[in-house]
Each structure stands twice: as structure tokens, then as C-alpha cells.
Amino acid sequence: MKECILYKPYKGKVQCLACANKCVISDGKTGLCGVRKNLKNKLYLLVYGKPVAVHVDPIEKKPLYHFLPNTKTFSFGTVGCNFKCKFCQNADISQEKTIMGQKYTVKKIVELALESGCKSISYTYNEPTIFIEFVKDVAELAHKNGLKNILVTNGYFTKKSLDFIAPYIDAMNIDLKSFSNDFYLKHSGTKLKPVLDSIKRVHKKGIHIELTTLLIPGENDSKKELENIAKFIASVDKNIPWHISRFFPMYKMLNKSPTELQSLKEAEKIGKKYLKYVYLGNI
Ligand code: SF4
């Protein structure tokens, strides 16, 4: 546990500034993600130094296809998330309410990454914005040791949290789950606009960026919506790679079938009208 940096006093409580939920948190309570707790009007990060999942992955698994290809990335995540996606592919850790994980110091993570021959560290599996101060400490030491840093994120940054972490981050894969605010509200309990703002800001900061959309039958796979996503990405930069990923029934969305290969192909065709690099994943 460590005191957070991204928060401020707010009407006798505290307000967290790590993500666009901007939770106002009373003494003794945690924010929506469950890992940032107000104790006597100081905000603490409960999962600091406590990864719950630690693996060495191929970088293409993040997915990043245009950044350090054919290298391994030291990957970890904690419990908790600021989204409540019904289709979450990692709900066992992201929606876990008990704070758990093994103790890893910042130094230990960087040493393990170097020992395992990785070229980068990925903050992934759950949403890294919620443990952003831990990310910053690891990422800073990683840079000093010649490693790159990768965020795999839902993009729900505040301007402040992105400015805070950007100097340490070399690449991001950001989920663009849909182009509909209703979809974000209904399935994740969040909003679309902060995600679009983040994508534009990350690109402007010169951080390498790739985007991912999980294609869910009947939810975000209409021709119109896919056109809107592709057009938006192209308006930022038509060279941004777009990964369209196949959905499999998970967590609270078990009533849907996996995405048909045909609809993935159609989405790819739409993407290629506007973008230079479109990839299908999970197939
Ligand atoms: S990081 Fe957690 S506590 Fe902070 S605003 Fe987001 S959901 Fe709320």
C-alpha cells in the first residue's frame, strides 16, 4: 500500500484523478475500481507492489504488431478495474474484490524483465490506470535499464493522469470498444468521449499507438458503427493499426455466440477502406 499521487481533497472527502470516473471517495471507502482507498482523507493504492498475474508474453499478444516485433514483453496486472464490462475476458482478476497478489518490489520486476530477455514491460491483464503510481515507478526504473514500457488500456485517462504517465510510456494498445456512448454506458458503465480524447492526446504526444475492438455480434458490429470507428481512427492517423478481435462468450455475456468469421472479414474490409493496417485477432 502506498499513498497515491493523483488525487485531491474534495468537500471533506477526496477526489481521485487517475481515471475519468473521477470518484469522490469518503473516508474508509474505495473508488469504483476497488483498489484506491480513502484512509483519513489520504488516498492509498492498495495494490502497489502486488501483481496478481505475471507472465512473459510475445509482444504480438498485447496486441502490438508495429512495435518491437518478435520480442518478448514482461507482463503483469493487479486485481481491479475502472470498467465493469459484461464481456470482460479477464474478469477473474479485473472484477475480483479481494485485494490479493504476490509482493514484488519495483526493482524485482525490472530485474525479472531483464533476466527473462524481455525488451519491454507491459502493464496489462487489468486496467493499469487504476495502479498508475505503481506503473510510473516501475516504468521509470525500466527506462533507466534500457527497457521500453507498454500500457494495454481502456483509455479512460484524465488529462492529468495521461500527462503524468506519458513521459515513461513508449507504446499503448487502447481498446476502442464501440463508437456508441450507449454501448459504453450499457456494457461498461462508462462513456465514450474520454476514450476518444485519450486516443487523440496519446497520438499527439508521439507515443506509438495501436487500437483494438472486440467485435460482439449484434452489439457493435453494424456497418455504420464500423465505418464510424474506421473514419475516426483515420481522422487521427490512417497509419494507426486497428486490431479487430473475435468475441467468445465470457463473464456476464454468455448468451452470445462467438463472432462469425464472415462478420470479421466484413469489418476488415470496412477498415481497409480508411486505414493502412487492419488485423483480425483471436481467430
Ligand atoms: S482509478 Fe478507481 S478510484 Fe480513481 S477515479 Fe478511476 S475508478 Fe475511481
Give residue limits of the domains in the chain: 2-45, 53-281
Say if residue 194 is preceded by a cis peptide, omega within 30 of 0.
no
Ligand 1 atom closest to residue 82's alpha carbon, by position in its atom list: 7
Strand segments, DSSP code E, in the chain are 2-3, 7-10, 13-16, 24-25, 36-39, 42-45, 53-58, 72-77, 120-123, 148-153, 171-175, 208-215, 242-246, 278-281
Rounded-to-integer distance, Cα 220 and Cα 134, Å: 33
Q: Whose CA is nearest to atom 5 of ligand 1?
A: 22
Confidence check: pLDDT of 89 > 90: no
Mutate to test the pocket of ligand 1, among 3, 14, 30, 33 (most ligand atoms within 8 A of CB): 33
Helix, strand, coil share of the chain (percent; to 5)? 35, 25, 45
Mean pLDDT of the 194-211 span: 98
Tell me the pLDDT tens digit for each residue of 96-111: 989 999 999 999 999 9
Q: Give the mean model confidence (pLDDT) for residues 117-134.
A: 98
CATH topology of domain 53-281: TIM Barrel (3.20.20)
pLDDT at site 97: 87
Atom of ligand 1 nearest to the CA of 132: 1
Residues 6+ apart with CB under 8 A from 2: 44, 45, 48, 49, 133, 134
pLDDT tops 90 at residue 26: yes
- Contact partners, residue 82, CB within 8 Å, separation at least 6: 19, 21, 31, 32, 33, 127, 129, 130, 154, 156, 190
Beta bridge partners of 243: 212, 279
Amino acid at 96: E
